[in-house]
Structure 1
Amino acid sequence: MTIKGDLEESKKRTEEKDSFNNVLSENTAEEKKIDISTLDDDDEFEDFQAEDWVEADTDLGINSFSLSLRAELEKFQTPSIVVNSNIQKKLFYHGKSVFIRVDFNVPLNLNKEITNNQRIASTLPTIEYVLDQGAKAVILASHLGRPNGKRNEKYSLEPVHKELERLLQRQVLFLDDCVGENVEKICKEATNGQIILLENLRFHIEEEGSAKDAEGNKIRADPKDIERFRASLTALADIYINDAFGTAHRAHSSIVGVDLPEKVAGLLMKKELDFFAKALENPQRPFLAILGGAKVSDKIQLISNLLDKVDILIICGGMAYTFKKVLENMEIGTSLFDKAGAENVEFLVEKAKNNNVKIVFPVDFITADEFDKDAKIGYATDKEGIAVDLMGLDCGHKSIELFEEAIDQAKTILWNGPPGVFELEPFSYGTKKMLDAVVSSSNSGNMVIIGGGDTATVATKYGQADKISHVSTGGGASLELLEGKCLPGVSILTDKESFSSK
């Protein structure tokens, strides 16, 4: 969704809803009838790609309404985080068929081998719990990649099927479709705790509601076909569990359209929401947020929302150059400068001052003459600036010292976005040092949450994920939660507990 779209969404929510109870009831009703063909068809990971450090589309057209955006952000009411406890009701699943929406969107290499099975392994506790409670059958549904609404064997869940059997140490029946008479028949007849994995949901345009033709034009699914698709998914089981936090922000058919009387959160979903609730609603202080990323304009709502909650904010990564240019007129060379986001820098800094939030910026940088691992590497401080033909791709040792000092002070840490282009070894120093610092903090008993996406990749790449309090499985979902948005996949659950975010 664009920044303008976020603005309109927040404006509508502010005008129409007087309290969270109204937000919850109205959102729940709305999500059940939402036309998913109008939604963006991008994937759940919204974090910047490495190339965005070099070139970003800054012509977003938001300059003309930046003042109104600021006004809306000041009014924006953050909804409570909603969690669900129904999954652990005793005998709730006995003799029932259970549909579990999981997120098995795992990375594959060219040989179709899974390179990181975290998302599969993270769902095992929910599957095993339901089976231990006497479920008649467990039906697992997921997407994988972007097959564009049609069957494409490149995105088959067959590799996931094999890995799932290996992890569970039991047989899993893999079906070649996710809807239809044959699938319904097999699922209805399943018994004795049988586990069934459906084929990729996105092999059907009705899952996302749209696809693109050969020319790149959007094709929308027929609403009647979407209805039939959702009805077929609904016919597969008695109880619905959403354990796919990574797609909870998508109002796709398998997320909001399975119309069963009982819709509950899985153990992974509940764990995700519990951790974010602790951090955002009742954190031990000082509370530190670390934000990287390429463009300020992508993080305006996120930064504004966090400024109402944190004590310290580290701004690093590509967007730091925009802040430094606006606030200090620093020479940044060919480093990323986000003109659209620059319009809101002073507003955000002023809000930080009003809320007594300390902002920590990098003060030195590792530079390069090109975006390449073999680039000529240099060093620059903010006082001297970056030469006109160079770009900053990482922070320097003085910046790391400042970041470590802030991390040492904090009792609660939320990290979203690395400080450098860690994908290129010469520019991974800052990211490695920051990871070491938050791991040390976590080992000292402080709460450290990594908000999915590229930052989760960092923790996994350097073998530190198990040393962090919580590494989220959701990139875009965690971002939207941190921005204060209601997640469609949570709003439709039938039994909820609310935790005030005020």
Structure 2
Amino acid sequence: MNFRTLKDADVASKRVLVRVDLNVPMQDGKVTDTTRIDRIIPTINILRQKGAKIILLAHFGRPKGEAKPEFSLEQIVPALAHAVKHPVAFAKDCIGDIAEAAVNAMNDGDVLLLENTRFHKGEEKNDPDFVKALAANGDIYVNDAFSAAHRAHASTEGLAHILPAFAGLTMEAELTALEKGLGRPARPVIAIVGGAKVSTKIDLLSNLVEKVDALVIGGGMANTFLSAQGYDVGKSLCEHDLADTARAIMARAEKANCTIILPVDAVVAWHFEADAPHQTYGVDAIPHDAMMLDVGPLSVDRIKAAITDASTLVWNGPLGAFELHPFDTATVAAAKHAAERTREGRLVSVAGGGDTVAALNHAKASDDFSYVSTAGGAFLEWMEGKPLPGVDVLKKQ
């Protein structure tokens, strides 16, 4: 890997500014999902073992450059301290006298969380003066927040230009997994892309058809492709105005020798609700007054066969309305099959994106995938082939 990692860093007794992702879901003042907190613990632990002073930088929500109590990171401290199994100090600002005093009070191995970096307008603007103010409290910079790496902000990109910069363990794991997914994958490579709208994933689809051997398209997106081929999709979610775009993507795939796998049958219902009355039809016989809410059993068999034939799988987006039973059937079946192949050592499986993580958790398949990314936008932009500023700045020169 051509990135500077913690293996390359001497951190003993150093002030280490660690950019982490603490943008966690909360309800009634308590963290409801600790996944992102859990992911940063290995980096914090190794820095503590090496005797560093660990100073955490993070954002929370979108305060738009203003200090708003509802976006304070102070409410994260109890969950963070519980996960670290060590006291976590808190400073009510991330720069200036308050931050400096808190850092000066630290001993080797201590953990300090600074207040939301986005309370300052200079964070999202990557303002050089704000970068310097952040850097004043650190000797070394570690980025462990891949999920924010697609943003060229002060704490995600700017700091790496003026302090020795390294990838944290979570960032390193993510980059290693992504390299196996699309960078230098074992072939054949299959991608599964689902979700509601083609319009949000045009760049993604255009990039993937150049890089994978087979592309499964599911969810509402598949309806747009089917409609573009002349099928009547009834009242299904469909972007009819993107028919030309869908046809262009199919043409590009054919030129690149990428097989596009679309549903051949679908589970349809007349109401968008759990346990709604439903029937399975071929895609050439969808009732005019019904909507497709999941791909059908014949399509699932085709998808599972494609997964069996593959050495690498990259997954973003569910195959159907997985939040509603029984329209989760295809997503669960494909996820379980991919998990089984991965357990057997026959498949490298990389997945990411909010809905994808939720769907794989629902299928109880996440733990068996090679890697499941908690990064939403950054994972999507990586799949689109776009540069990630927070990653590029960590590359070895």
Q: TM-score range by the shorter chain?
A: over 0.9
Amino acid at match of 2:24: V
Contact 1:238/1:260, CA 8 A, preserved across alignment: no
Q: Which runs of 5 or more residues in structure 2 are unaligned?
A: none
Which residue, 125, 134, 138 being the options, matches 1:237? 138
* Partner Cα separation in structure 2 for residue 331 and residue 340 of structure 1: 14
The alpha-carbon distance between structure 1 residues 313 and 282, as it changes in their structure 2 partners (threshold 3 A), is same
Which segments of structure 1 move beyond 6 Å, counting only runs of 4 or more?
Answer: none
* TM-score computed with the length of structure 2 as normaliser: 0.93
Relative contact order: is structure 1 or structure 2 higher (C-alpha 8 Å, sep ≥ 6)? 1
Displacement, 1:381? 1.8
Number of residue pairs matched by the alignment: 395
The alpha-carbon distance between structure 1 residues 236 and 341, as it changes in their structure 2 partners (threshold 3 A), is farther
Which residues of 2 match residues 431-442 of structure 1 at below 5 A?
Answer: 431-442=331-342
* Partner Cα separation in structure 1 for residue 380 and residue 266 of structure 2: 27
Displacement, 1:272? 0.7
* Partner Cα separation in structure 2 for residue 338 and residue 452 of structure 1: 22
Which residues of 2 match residues 166-177 of structure 1 at below 5 A?
Answer: 166-177=82-93
1:122 aligns to what SS in structure 2? helix
Pairing 1:88–2:38 present: no
Amino acid at match of 2:61: G
Contact 2:4/2:165, CA 8 A, preserved across alignment: no
* Partner Cα separation in structure 2 for residue 177 and residue 460 of structure 1: 36
Corresponding residue number in structure 2 for 1:304:
206
Contact 2:275/2:324, CA 8 A, preserved across alignment: no
Displacement, 1:227? 4.0
Which residues of 2 match residues 280-319 of structure 1 at below 5 A?
Answer: 280-319=182-221
Which residues of 2 match residues 50-65 of structure 1 at below 5 A?
Answer: none
Contact 1:83/1:273, CA 8 A, preserved across alignment: no
The alpha-carbon distance between structure 1 residues 425 and 143, as it changes in their structure 2 partners (threshold 3 A), is farther
Which residue, 294, 302, 317 being the options, matches 1:394? 294
Which residue, 120, 123, 132 being the options, matches 2:49? 132
Pairing 1:366–2:285 present: no
* Partner Cα separation in structure 2 for residue 463 and residue 469 of structure 1: 14
Q: Which runs of 5 or more residues in structure 1 are unaligned?
A: 1-81, 210-222, 498-502
* Partner Cα separation in structure 1 for residue 273 and residue 118 of structure 2: 35
Pairing 1:257–2:174 present: no
Corresponding residue number in structure 2 for 1:320:
222
1:448 aligns to what SS in structure 2? strand
Contact 2:350/2:369, CA 8 A, preserved across alignment: yes
* Partner Cα separation in structure 2 for residue 373 and residue 203 of structure 1: 41
Amino acid at match of 2:292: G
* Partner Cα separation in structure 2 for residue 379 and residue 191 of structure 1: 65
Corresponding residue number in structure 2 for 1:119:
36
Which residues of 2 match residues 448-459 of structure 1 at below 5 A?
Answer: 448-459=349-360
1:420 aligns to what SS in structure 2? coil
Pairing 1:379–2:296 present: no
Contact 2:17/2:141, CA 8 A, preserved across alignment: yes
Displacement, 1:196? 0.3
Which residue, 57, 69, 73 being the options, matches 1:157? 73
2:271 aligns to what SS in structure 1? coil
* Partner Cα separation in structure 1 for residue 46 and residue 317 of structure 2: 34
Which residue, 387, 390, 393 being the options, matches 1:489? 390
More off after superposition, 169-178 vs 461-470 = 461-470
Pairing 1:460–2:361 present: yes
Which residues of 2 match residues 178-197 of structure 1 at below 5 A?
Answer: 178-197=94-113
Contact 1:296/1:342, CA 8 A, preserved across alignment: no
Contact 2:267/2:279, CA 8 A, preserved across alignment: yes
* Partner Cα separation in structure 2 for residue 472 and residue 138 of structure 1: 24
Pairwise CA RMSD of aligned residues?
Answer: 2.0
Displacement, 1:238? 0.7
* TM-score computed with the length of structure 1 as normaliser: 0.75
1:276 aligns to what SS in structure 2? helix
Amino acid at match of 1:459: L
Contact 1:453/1:476, CA 8 A, preserved across alignment: no
The alpha-carbon distance between structure 1 residues 443 and 86, as it changes in their structure 2 partners (threshold 3 A), is closer
Amino acid at match of 2:189: F
